Structure 1
């Protein structure tokens, strides 16, 4: 039997997150370069982020040729542009003197795939890199990551926005995120759910 989907959030009716949706406005422009394997991933947080930040831009691809349109778009902008990705040259928002009137680019994929995308897109080196000072561990407990400092793309965007503007209201971003996580946990068999929650407690 086919599943019934919400016409707005596009999640199954049983996992609809519309009750948690509240649009977010920001002076910071968010651009996501998304690896193709993430587009239809059931736990893809960019999909959630787009629901609360409909103005954000998503470009899907892997190589530089896939992002020609994005390159042309960025070249025409006058705002400062930053790539949110930790590396040996990256700075915190404070160190970079970045303000909220900026464009931030995030690469959406596993660490391995994101790193490869950066290698295939050397034009990104034209822009300064930012890394986050975030003491809180990721709350994305339903998707495992090899690195302890991993954040979902949604979390990375939220923390960057608050770093750029401490008065930014990021609560709606986490509201829809938590709604999705709870739906996923509730749908799990009890023993599996206990393991995920146990990992969160131990973390």
Structure 2
């Protein structure tokens, strides 16, 4: 018999993260496009990001038929948070009148994120943005595949912190930090130090 799950955060009821998830407002609209294989991932940080931001949505799939309507959303300038030679570093909005971004964030392994772009040519055609400075990942349980690699929620927080300063979105990381600490406790501190310690 499976353990009862929270309908909102999808964690087991006895590990529900909802009390740690904030409700933060942002000028930037964030849409997270999650590859279906990520929904069962133990962390599922894209879900946590969408739950913690008032102006965010999480879409799960490989092909997104509703993209044309999304990209035509009045009042927003659509961009893709994804590295590339042409990617522009995110900087703070110059004024309160500047058109806010519709920040589209693929969620999946690099291979799966590239597949989302391949299957959705409208995504691949968007202007790309990236983080000017990347702070180290808090995801201490796995070795990053590349320098500067972040969990999806970390990338969203760093992007919003860059765009909307002085507003700070670090509170969005509270449930993520709790998940990491919970996994470390479950494996035992000695095992963590042996396998992941510096």
Fold match by TM threshold 0.5: yes
Partner of 2:186: 187
Partner of 1:49: 49
1:54 to partner: Cα distance: 4.7
**Matches of 2:5 and 2:73, distance apart in 1:** 39
* Secondary structure of 1:23 counterpart: coil
Partner of 2:159: 160
1:97 to partner: Cα distance: 7.0
* Secondary structure of 1:140 counterpart: coil
1:195 to partner: Cα distance: 3.6
- 1:195–1:17 CA distance, 2 compared to 1 (3 A): farther
Partner of 2:101: 102
**Matches of 1:132 and 1:94, distance apart in 2:** 9
Partner of 1:80: 77
- Tell whether the 8 Å contact from 1:28 to 1:103 is kept in structure 2 after alignment: yes
Q: Count matched residues.
A: 196
* Secondary structure of 1:116 counterpart: helix
- 1:8–1:110 CA distance, 2 compared to 1 (3 A): closer
* Secondary structure of 1:67 counterpart: coil
* Matching of residues 142-157 of structure 1 within 5 Å: 142-157=141-156
* Secondary structure of 2:65 counterpart: helix
- 1:23–1:61 CA distance, 2 compared to 1 (3 A): same
**Matches of 1:61 and 1:135, distance apart in 2:** 28
Q: What 5-or-longer segments of structure 2 have no aligned partner?
A: none
- Tell whether the 8 Å contact from 2:36 to 2:60 is kept in structure 1 after alignment: yes
**Matches of 2:18 and 2:191, distance apart in 1:** 26
1:53 to partner: Cα distance: 1.7
Partner of 1:68: 65
* Secondary structure of 2:33 counterpart: strand
Q: TM-score, normalised by structure 2?
A: 0.86
**Matches of 1:170 and 1:31, distance apart in 2:** 16
**Higher helix residue share:** 1
**Matches of 1:134 and 1:7, distance apart in 2:** 36
**Matches of 2:183 and 2:190, distance apart in 1:** 14
CA RMSD across the alignment: 2.4
